[in-house]
A and B are shown apart, each in its own frame.
Chain A
Amino acid sequence: MIALLMRDLRLAVRAGGGFGLGLAFFLIVVTLVPFGVGPEGKILARIAPGILWVGALLACLLSLDRIFALDYEDGSLDLLVTAPVPLEGVVSIKALAHWITTGLPLVVAAPIFGILLHLPQGAHVWMVVSLLLGTPALSVLGTFGAALTVGLKRGGLLLSLLVLPFYVPTLIFGAELVRRGAEGMNTETPLLMLAGITAATIALVPFASAAAIRVNLR
């Protein structure tokens, strides 16, 4: 399984595009928003948590269709299904690789983008915490969507339609956590809810993804 993880990571780095693309997309979203809503610092500070979260979500979505598509095309997905490792484990590793290549860079870069959007000083910590807790759920749910649409000719658009509604709870609690952190309110409830959603998706959704892949390769 570690070998599989390393393979996926190497592929993401060397095949080009996959690794930095999400980050660049995130930067573009953050750059475009002030043009859309105007440069006043106060307004930007108010909407910054939401913009950062929506940007992270879209950046994550961008790379989803690559999770299984390449492996499906060159046949290595068939090999992974017949491998001695359980398919649920393979799916989890795939999600982990996706998180390391797109989620983790976003977490690291979030404070810098926060400065661009005038995110209040105290909220930076919460931004990082919420993304760190929330983005794994985005990756796992995205893997489920990718598993459903693997093998479809034009899966990309369908994938976003399927996956985005699943992202709603994570988005709500993630953005709420940062907003409350910025205003110095009690952050315990959204923090626990966010952690709970992520833990539950990591524990349960890979089974659904594995089932979907088995169906698609039958």
Chain B
Amino acid sequence: MSDVLVVSEHRRGELRDVSYEAITAGRELADARDGDLHVAVIGGDVDGFAEDLNREGVDAIHAVENGEEFDHNVYQTAIAALLDRTDAGTVVTPNSVNGLDYVPAVAEDRGLPLVTDAIGFEYDDGLTVTREMYGSKVETTVDVDGDRHVLTVRGGEWAPAEGVGDAPVESVEVDLPESGARVTGFEEVGGGDVDIADADVLVSVGRGIEEEENLELVEELADALGATLSASRPIVDNGWLPKNRQVGQSGKVVTPDVYIAVGISGAVQHVAGMKGSDTIVAINTDPNAPIFDIADYGIVGDLFEVVPELIDEFA
């Protein structure tokens, strides 16, 4: 039971990067437990995916040829079958939207302890997971009972697995029970006339703006700088700006030359969408806001005082 099963993830014909990161995390755990690393790929072009996933350190690949896109029923059934036919005691998956839709059910079904959103772990007679709490303000270490578990790992915390492996690929087909949840399609959201992913300079606004009326101030700054206006999730949730302006995991990934975060605390989901910017500037009242951890320049101050002064500088 010291083997590890990593479940990869793909969407619309492409493996997602977090799959390779999960392989690195899985290998780390398998090494600590002196076990083998199994990788599962479920649905879609499993043969092509299996080839890409065959990286250094992978001991076996299981290609489950059921379905095209993600379906939690298929994933649950396939993983249960793989846990039966391998010696894997721990399941490691990306902590992703689709992960949230099937991993808790797998853990519950098997009666395994579940720890989500791991940013690190150690294995020494038992598993100790590092994760964040209270909106990234603190880190905790969590001891997990028993030697079998389910772990989801946060994107960007482990390096993607590299190299070419020579793991055998085994085709698997599972019997699917009838499902009461059916995927009927996919839709891109947003659209609109502006593509923030094309902008060289972004002025991005977050919860710190407090009221919809105050958006005008940040619009004025964007105008003065010749920049494009974008936003973090709460602004879009409030309906103050359309979805196509949202930067983050569930919005757009942007890589401008300059990204100016105004009143954005820097939740991990937001950072996932903008950390590739060349220069990051943050204006925020809270000196401990996580946005300062990735910023190149920061002003700890009240945006309602700083932004008007900045507009004056460029007027």
A-B complex is real = no
A residues near B (Cβ < 8 Å) are none
